[in-house]
Structure 1
């Protein structure tokens, strides 16, 4: 019987909405356990986490003109280790936030590189530890990155060349009374090593391997070891679709404040800012509240999904019902449009037989028509040939008569004059008046001019009885033409007779086919009617099924009793956590304001940090929020908030923060040296009161040298490098 179960049972018994739920305390406890909600709050017992030694070594590959390369052996790029080449073959832009090492020459090119071995070792102290340099890009952030690499198991964002330089890392951590050493070899950011427990007994150091890692499992090994030893609980959070558990990566990221990562105000994970704040100063019931909220949201999501599914199903049924109604109407319309007459099957058979008989007759007539058409065409061609022959002979006779009776006056070749004297001498001299050839005397007597040299047969053709022969031949040819015309007309008459008979039979056949088509349409309509009537019956059945009233009882996958318990638990725990946190939040808000103003932001006032991890304030008297501040103001406020939260968590004995805080380049956002000095003093005060270990890396090294003991600082002056 738990206190939480008792309180929840009382809330459920008084519930009005939905009616009271009567459960015993034991039943409530059982449901809470089933939902993964702890029955008891967890007392915050912070375990201090301190870095007591950091050591790393490797090889720098520098340009020969680099100050550190003087006197060092040169190695061609092709002879360098394979993982080193990408970092030295070309310049990569330096990451100001990381402050990785870089050579002074920003225009370096590939070429021989100087091999410069290096080794760095430092034993930080409790309290504030400073890492400073006279210039940027001198290795301050690299030192912090190596420290956090060993703690988180996740390789930071080194510059390419620096990542390839680091070959071995050893970091000793103190967690309460336990001493752990994280040691690993690194090849271009991939770590292979182990975590060992170090114990000293009678001046003898003994080590026990707690975990080994090779590559990507480094982060998992560190998470498993650190969560248990620092007594940190997993942080369950419900996202849009599923529960997600945040663990070591989320916790470890909250140990670092960087100038380029200022949102949210608490930690570095936007979705779990509230949980991070509760880790700093959370009450005993904060982890239980997180579990209850996650369980309730999970069930609410399942319930919402079921409701959406039921709604979608109902909408689908309605759509189907409307579709069924439309289908019934469409089928009925189709049936109404069909003809109502019944087909006469016997008449259709008679028409089919008649159409077939006529088609056979037409086939025979069409064959005869084709043959007769061919004969008619032949007769026409013969008539044309006879007419052409008669015409040709007639034209020949006319041409002969014409040309042989010509009396040329000029020679057709040389254009010489043919004199009348020469023409008159032809009968006497028997010579052609044009060419002077001797004339055929026999043809000459027939008044035909033919040379004596023309063969006898040719001359006779011109000389013998032309008028009489022309008349007899012409009459014979006219007889041939008349005979051909009669034959052609007879053939055309036969073709016309066949065409008339074919047209008559075609009309009879078309009438029979038309009556047959009408019968076919009636048969098809009758067949369609039967098919549509069956389809209509099915559609009406489907419509009847869809229009029946649905069963109002729907199965809800969420147990309403369990949901009521989760909601009541969230309600109770929210109040308990708020009652415990609010007084402390007022004190923390006052400290945030005091520290922020001391850091130089005197225009900010009236700070209030709410339980939702939201910060309200005023800027020059006007209401403002953390997200509305400038980057420089955000940096000051975030550092102040981290300091105040850790301090009050330790003082109040409710914090789970291990007391390790890393501030990377706080002066990057235009923080004057005097404000930085004020910050370092404030950090020293908090570290002394809350037994913290704080690392500050800054380019303004003067406040570190002035305020921190030599053992608590690593400072590279001038152009020197931290390592």
Structure 2
């Protein structure tokens, strides 16, 4: 039975309108435990974290003309380690071309490098430790980066050359009363090593391996070791519609204040600024409140997701309903356009059979028609030939009559005179009066003048023709006339047959057309009947689908959240918010006063009336005018952020509560509008604060003079002029 659950039961009883919610304290305990909400607050007691020794070594690969390269062995580029080999050598034509879009940092002087071994070792002291140089890029940040690398397990953003130079690191950490040594070998920023616990028994140093790592394992090993030893709790938050747990990376990043990373005011993770502040202030119920709020936001997200899904489903149903209605209307419209006549299937089949039979008859008649038409054409040609022959004979007969009754008086060839004596002598001498040829006496008796040498057939024709021409034989024309008549009769008969066939074909074709039209109409009706059947089935389905969509109406939102669990967690969140506020508000007043005092001691005496709220926001006055943290200049933000971090540390150690281990790194504070005299003021103030509360602060700056002036030699590493820190 927990105090939290007992208070939740009371809240639920007051909230329930229809009577108390029938939950016992044990039941609430079970619900909260199932939701991952701790039942009890934890007393936050700070555990000191101190760096007692920093050691790293490696090899610098310098250009031959570098001042520090003098006297050191030169190594050909081909013999250099792969990770320090000049880029120009890696991408030479012999090796391969740079990929599309790549922009490698080409070495200015590819070729041999000077091999310059180095090592650095320093034992920082409690209080303020300074790392300074006369110029930038002299190794100050490298010392801090190595320090944080060993603490977080995550390789920092070294310069590329420096990362490749470092080969071995050892850092000793004092965590409470335990001494840990983090040692590892490094190859281009990839660490392989172990964490050992170092103890001294009767002047004998013993080491116990408590963790080993390779590469990415390093961060996880350091997180598991440090979270437990520093008594830090996971920070659950709900972000991006999912629950996340912030742990060692978030805590360790808050130990560093950089001039280029000043938001939020506490830590360096914007989404957990409030939670980080609550953890460092040390209220007992802050972790429980974070867990309860995360659980409640998870339920809210689940409900919102279910609602969105239901809304999306409702929109789908509505769209489906509209589509179903339109489909139904389209089907009805198509049915209305189909012909309503009833189909006589048997009649259609009989008509089709009759039309097919007629088509065969028409085909046979057309074959006969072609034959008869050919015969008629032949008869017409024969009639024409007979008429021509008869006409020729008639003309020959007329010519014979004409020429044989002629009595020429002049020879048609020589124009010699044909005397009457010679004409009178023809019957006696039997000679032609023109050509003196012997005459055919038989023909002469018929008054036909023809030479005896002319064939008998021709003579007979001439005699017959000549005598017919005189009209003496009425039957002379009977032969030719009969021949023409016969031919004419044949033509008439053939043409009559053609006309009969043509008429018959036309009659059958007309009948077949009528039958085909009936069959076509029947086919259309048959197709329409089939289409009607299909449409009626589709219509039935569409009506059923529309009915189902109408009956289902809009999908209901199914609540994925147990209302009892939600009521419990909301009540718990309400209780915890009140408890945390009651514990935290008095502390915030004290911390705000410390922030104001420290900020002004850092040289920002124009800022006053600081008020750090429970939402991790800062209200203040600037020259008497209301201001907020986000409205300050970068230099003012830097002073306020450092002052806030130190105030939280001091509060924890003075009050004996809180979770900040008292370890703080200030990287290049003078980079943000902080002149040397203000930096000296800050360092002096930091020394004073470090004397009041147990803490270790590292300050890395290019202004080395205040460090030399204010810090003991053991507390500083300073490179003056153009010298390097290591």
Q: TM-score, normalised by structure 2?
A: 0.77
Report the CA distance between 1:28 and its aligned residue: 1.3
Map of 1:541 onto structure 2: 544
Q: Residue 347 of structure 1 aligns with which residue?
A: 347
Residues 428-467 of structure 1: matches in 2 within 5 Å? Answer: none
**Where does residue 177 of structure 2 map in the other structure?**
177
How many residue pairs match? The answer is 604
1:499-518 → structure 2 map (5 Å cutoff) = 505-518=508-521
Which range moved further: 667-676 or 139-148?
Answer: 667-676
The equivalent residue for 1:426 is: none
Aligned residues of 1:61 and 1:88 also touching (Cα < 8 A):
no
Indicate which of 665, 673, 676 corresponds to 1:673: 676
Q: Are the aligned partners of 1:72 and 1:114 in contact in 2 as well (CA < 8 Å)?
A: yes
Where does residue 134 of structure 1 map in the other structure?
A: 134
| Cα separation, 1, equivalents of 2:307 and 2:175 | 50
CA distance in 1, matches of 2:502, 2:300: 91
Farther off after superposition, 680-689 or 663-672: 680-689
Cα distance in 2, alignment partners of residues 265 and 66 from structure 1: 43
Change in 2 beyond 3 A, CA 1:352/1:584: same
**Alignment counterpart, residue 588 of structure 1, candidates 582, 587, 591:** 591
SS of corresponding position for 1:266: coil
Q: Give a deviation string over 1:468-508, Cα, whole Å, max 9, x none.
A: xxxxxxxxxxxxxxxxxx9xxx9999999988876665444
Aligned to 1:699: 702
Contact 2:154 2:219 in 1 (8 A): yes
Once residues 493 and 716 of structure 1 are traced to their aligned partners in structure 2, the CA distance between those partners, rounded to angstroms, is 136
Tell me, in whole angstroms, the C-alpha distance in 1 between the residues paired with 2:495 and 2:84: 106
Instruction: Say whether residues 1:82 and 2:82 are aligned partners.
Output: yes
The residue that corresponds to 1:556 in the other structure is 559
**Residues 491 and 684 of structure 1: CA distance in aligned 2, closer, same or farther (over 3 Å):** farther
Tell me: CA distance 1:505–1:219, structure 2 relative to 1, closer, same or farther (3 Å): same
Seen in structure 2, the aligned counterparts of structure 1 residues 582 and 360 have a Cα distance that, compared at 3 Å, is same
SS at match of 2:162: helix
Matched residue, 1:458: none
Equivalents in 1 of 2:110, 2:60: separation in Å? 15
Contact 2:307/2:557 (8 A) holds in 1 = no
Deviation track 1:521-544 (CA, whole Å, cap 9, x = no partner) reads 222333333333333333333333
Q: In the aligned structure 2, how far is the partner of 1:711 from the partner of 1:536?
A: 94
Matches within 5 A, 1:138-217: 138-217=138-217
* Residue of structure 2 in register with 1:113 after alignment: 113
Offset of residue 362 of structure 1 = 4.2
Structure 2: gaps spanning 5 or more residues: 92-105, 380-487
- CA 570–367 in structure 1, closer or farther in 2 if over 3 Å, else same: farther
Cα deviation for residue 645 of structure 1 reads 1.8
Aligned residue in 2 for 1:410: none
Cα displacement (A) at 1:366: 5.9
CA distance in 1, matches of 2:23, 2:552: 36
- Aligned pair in 2 of structure 1 residues 348, 45: CA closer, same or farther (>3 Å)? same
> Matched residues in 1 for 2:188 and 2:340: separation?
90
Does structure 2 retain, via aligned residues, the 8 Å contact 1:51–1:173?
yes
| Cα distance in 2, alignment partners of residues 90 and 603 from structure 1 | 56
Larger Rg: 2
2:414 is matched with none
Q: Give the C-alpha shift of residue 588 in structure 1.
A: 2.1
SS in 2 for 1:547: helix
- 2:43·2:282 contact (CA, 8 Å) conserved in 1? no
Structure 2 CA distance for partners of 1:371 and 1:10, relative to 1, 3 Å: farther
In structure 2, the residue corresponding to 1:244 is in which secondary structure? strand
Cα 1:61–1:354 change in 2 (3 A) is same
The answer on whether the counterparts of 2:654 and 2:693 sit within 8 Å (CA) in structure 1 is yes
Q: Closer, same or farther in 2 for the Cα pair 1:336/1:553, shift >3 Å?
A: closer
Instruction: Summarize the Cα distance change of 1:373–1:156 in structure 2 as closer, same or farther, 3 Å threshold.
Output: farther
Q: Distance in 1 between matches of 2:524 and 2:20?
A: 74
> CA-to-partner distance for each residue in 1:667-687, whole Å, 9 max, x for gaps?
111210111111111211221
Contact 2:237 2:294 in 1 (8 A): yes
Alignment counterpart, residue 647 of structure 1, candidates 625, 645, 650: 650
**Which residue number in structure 1 is paired with residue 692 of structure 2?**
689
- Distance in 2, Cα, partners of 1:277 & 1:654: 13
Distance 1:693 1:576 in 2: 32
Q: Quick one: structure 1 residues 310 and 18, their matched pair in 2 at CA, closer, same or farther if it must change by over 3 Å?
A: farther
Give the 5 Å matches for 1:472-483: none
- The separation in 1 between residues aligned to 2:161 and 2:608, in whole angstroms, is 45
1:556 CA drift (Å): 2.6
**8 Å contact from structure 2 (residues 69, 115) kept in 1:** yes
8 A Cα contact 1:87 1:160, kept in partner? no
Residue of structure 1 in register with 2:300 after alignment: 300
Q: Contact 1:9 / 1:23 at 8 angstroms: preserved in 2?
A: yes
Deviation of the 1:63 alpha carbon? 1.4
Deviation track 1:585-615 (CA, whole Å, cap 9, x = no partner) reads: 2232233233333434444443322111122
Distance in 1 separating the partners of 2:370 and 2:589: 118
Where does residue 612 of structure 2 map in the other structure?
A: 609
2:33 is matched with 33
CA contact (8 A) 1:238 1:244 kept: yes
Deviates more, 1:319-328 or 1:562-571: 319-328
Write the distance in 2 (CA, Å) between the matches of 1:160 and 1:371.
107
Aligned match of 1:254: 254
* Structure 1 Cα separation of the partners of residues 690 and 17 of structure 2: 51
- More divergent stretch after superposition (695-704 vs 29-38): 29-38
Normalised to the residue count of structure 1, the TM-score between the two structures is 0.77
CA distance 1:153–1:375, change in 2 (3 Å): farther
Between 274-283 and 200-209, the greater mean CA deviation after superposition: 274-283
5+ residue gaps, structure 1, are 92-105, 380-485
**Is it true that 1:628 corresponds to 2:631 in the alignment?**
yes
Contact 2:277–2:616 (Cα < 8 Å) also in 1? yes
Shift of 1:367: 5.9
- Give the one of 634, 640, 663 matched to 1:660: 663
1:256-295 to 2 correspondences below 5 Å:
256-295=256-295
5 Å matches for 1:352-367? Answer: 352-364=352-364
Displacement after TM superposition at 1:276 (Å): 1.2
- How far apart, CA to CA, are the structure 1 residues paired with 2:131 and 2:253? 20
Q: Which moved more, 1:42-51 or 1:69-78?
A: 69-78
Whether the 8 Å CA contact 1:7–1:572 is kept in 2: the answer is yes
2:481 aligned partner: none
